[in-house]
Amino acid sequence: MKLEKKFKTAFAEKLLTWYHKNKRDLPWRKTSDPYKIWVSEVMLQQTQVDQVIPYYHKFIEKFPDLRSLAEAPLSQVLKVWEGLGYYARARNLKSAAEKIVAEHNAVMPATHDELIKVPGIGPYTAAAIASIAYNEDYPVVDGNVYRVIARLMRIEEAPGKKGTKTRFVQTARSLMPEGKASDFNQAMMELGALVCTPNRPKCRLCPVSFFCQAYQTLDDPSVLPIKEPTKQKPHYNVAIGIIWKGGKILIDQRPEEGLLGGLWEFPGGKQEPGETLEECLEREVREEMDIQIRVQGPFLTIPHTYSHFKITLHSFQCQHVEGEPRPKKAINWKWVSPREINRYAFPQANKKILDALLETL
Ligand code: SF4
């Protein structure tokens, strides 16, 4: 998309002036360390700023540089990430750090083209690090920027349509003034977060309303961007056991690849048609761990939503009856005392059950 030079200059000037006056005081904005910017960008994918801030501090305190992250056991990284969700982000971050330490002498690659070659760093993250840390002229289109551009240029294309993503990146590129990628990208994201919000954008306070086609021509700019029709997520009932043996509880570790990879959990699984939750739990533990248990009673039930499905997680207090665990899929298992159980990283829904359990003990 070709834009008039005058339009581009005036737009950037308005946007950047607003940004310098209004930007939030965020911890990753106080550093030019590409490693820290990388960590923040990965955390901010799929997670709100307020939730990220304490995790960012904790993560940087524990792993202040590439080498400390690369050398830490994955279990430690997952423990610090515990509760932030989308755990593949933590695994990719760590494996990419290992590669950079091994192949780049622990120095972050300094260009987009080098960054993108590191397994674990995708196109969005490479563009974000290259532009924010190194001021390389690369546009970054996250959800906020996508929304701003859709409204600004009145783009009425469905997000799933072929070429839509490229069109947004090209538009962002055409708006970007040379040599100002770091501030410009952050300003676009900030405008989307603070002013051009999903519902009820604050158009009257918007520094770029003069340039905005949605504001100039639509009654309600918030109808853009066009949204994908929401699909109904499938729902499953899952039964898990707090299985006791001599004052200790059985936990197992999920395989490193796949959903919640590398995290620890209480054994259990999905309910099949025609079985009770108690039957489901006994069957799952028999099939998955090769042990016999006695289900004693329900403990806590909580709903939980993943990106592609929903579950109701039913937990039960159980007693071990016989057998040494021989897991089918889990890569590790342990009998742990309540005192030591918090050393292990659990997925969010299991963690809620664990916290409730520790409170009752
Ligand atoms: Fe968004 Fe309104 Fe600004 Fe347009 S004028 S960019 S719709 S806040």
* C-alpha–C-alpha distance, residues 74 and 342, integer Å: 16
Distance 326 CA to ligand 1 centre (A): 58
Helices 88-103 & 74-81, crossing angle to 10 degrees?
A: 140
Distance 4 CA to ligand 1 centre (A): 20
Read off the amino acid at residue 307. S
Quick one: which atom of ligand 1 is closest to the CA of 195?
A: 8
DSSP assignment, residue 222?
Answer: G
Q: Is residue 108 part of a domain?
A: yes
Q: Which of 192, 223, 254 is the last residue before a domain boundary?
A: 223
Q: What is the pLDDT of residues 71-83, one digit of tens each?
A: 999 999 999 999 9
| Mean pLDDT of all residues in 58-87 | 96
Q: What is the pLDDT of residues 165-180, one digit of tens each?
A: 899 999 999 999 999 9
Residues 205 and 251 in one domain: no
Give yes or no for residue 195 CB within 6 A of ligand 1.
Answer: yes
Instruction: State pTM to two decimals.
Output: 0.89
What's the structural domain count of the chain? 2
Residues 219 and 240 in one domain: no
Q: Which of 188, 223, 258 is the last residue before a domain boundary?
A: 223
41 a catalytic residue: yes
Give yes or no for residue 126 CB within 6 A of ligand 1.
Answer: no
Cα 81 from chain centroid? Answer: 10
Of the candidate ranges 2-11, 16-25, 335-344, the one whose mean pLDDT is the lowest: 2-11
Residues 274 and 172 in one domain: no
What are the angstrom distances between the C-alpha of 241 and each of 142, 314, 356?
40, 9, 14
DSSP-H helix ranges across the chain: 5-22, 34-44, 49-62, 66-71, 74-81, 88-103, 112-115, 123-134, 143-152, 164-175, 181-194, 213-217, 277-289, 348-360
Distance 209 CA to ligand 1 centre (A): 5
Mean predicted lDDT score pLDDT of the chain: 95
Q: Which of 189, 223, 257 is the last residue before a domain boundary?
A: 223
Distance 151 CA to ligand 1 centre (A): 6
If you take atom 4 of ligand 1, which residue's CA is the nearest one? 212
Give the pLDDT confidence score for residue 38 in this predicted structure: 98
CB 285 within 8 A of CB 279: no
Residues 288 and 319 in one domain: yes
pLDDT higher than threshold 90 for residue 5? no
If you take atom 1 of ligand 1, which residue's CA is the nearest one? 196
3-state secondary structure of 249: strand
Distance 148 CA to ligand 1 centre (A): 7
Residues 172 and 41 in one domain: yes
Q: Ligand 1, from 155, 202, 212: best to mutate by most atoms within 8 Å of Cβ? A: 212
Give yes or no for residue 151 CB within 6 A of ligand 1.
Answer: yes
Residues 286 and 339 in one domain: yes
CB 317 within 8 A of CB 277: no
Give the pLDDT confidence score for residue 230 in this predicted structure: 82
Give yes or no for residue 212 CB within 6 A of ligand 1.
Answer: yes
Which domain covers residue 124, as residue numbers?
A: 5-223
* C-alpha–C-alpha distance, residues 201 and 328, integer Å: 51
Read off the amino acid at residue 325. P
Q: Is residue 23 part of a domain?
A: yes
pLDDT higher than threshold 60 for residue 1? no
Q: Which two tokens stand for residue 338?
A: 């309540």
pLDDT higher than threshold 90 for residue 14? yes
Q: What is the pLDDT of residues 283-293, one digit of tens each?
A: 999 999 999 99
Residues 194 and 267 in one domain: no
CB 60 within 8 A of CB 68: no
Q: Ligand 1, from 145, 215, 218, 224: best to mutate by most atoms within 8 Å of Cβ? A: 215
Q: Ligand 1, from 209, 219, 220: best to mutate by most atoms within 8 Å of Cβ? A: 209
Residues 14 and 114 in one domain: yes
Give yes or no for residue 215 CB within 6 A of ligand 1.
Answer: yes
* C-alpha–C-alpha distance, residues 175 and 2, integer Å: 9
| Mean pLDDT of all residues in 7-13 | 94
Q: Is residue 128 part of a domain?
A: yes
The secondary structure of 299-339 as a DSSP string is EEEEEEE-SS-EEEEEEEEEEEEE-----SS-SEEEEE-TT
Helices 181-194 & 143-152, crossing angle to 10 degrees?
A: 80
Residues 354 and 313 in one domain: yes
Q: Which two tokens stand for residue 293?
A: 């248990």
Q: Is residue 228 part of a domain?
A: no
Q: Is residue 230 part of a domain?
A: no
Residues 163 and 276 in one domain: no
Say how many CA atoms lie within 13 Å of 181 toward its Cβ: 21
* C-alpha–C-alpha distance, residues 285 and 300, integer Å: 18
| Mean pLDDT of all residues in 28-39 | 96
Q: Judging by DSSP bridges, how do beta strands 264-265 and 235-245 pair with one another?
A: unpaired
CB 140 within 8 A of CB 185: yes
Residues 106 and 21 in one domain: yes
Residue in 41, 265, 278, 282 annotated catalytic: 41
Q: Is residue 321 part of a domain?
A: yes
Residues 258 and 172 in one domain: no
Distance 223 CA to ligand 1 centre (A): 12
**CATH classification of the domain holding 99:** 1.10.340.30
**CATH classification of the domain holding 295:** 3.90.79.10
CB atoms within 10 A of CB 59: 23
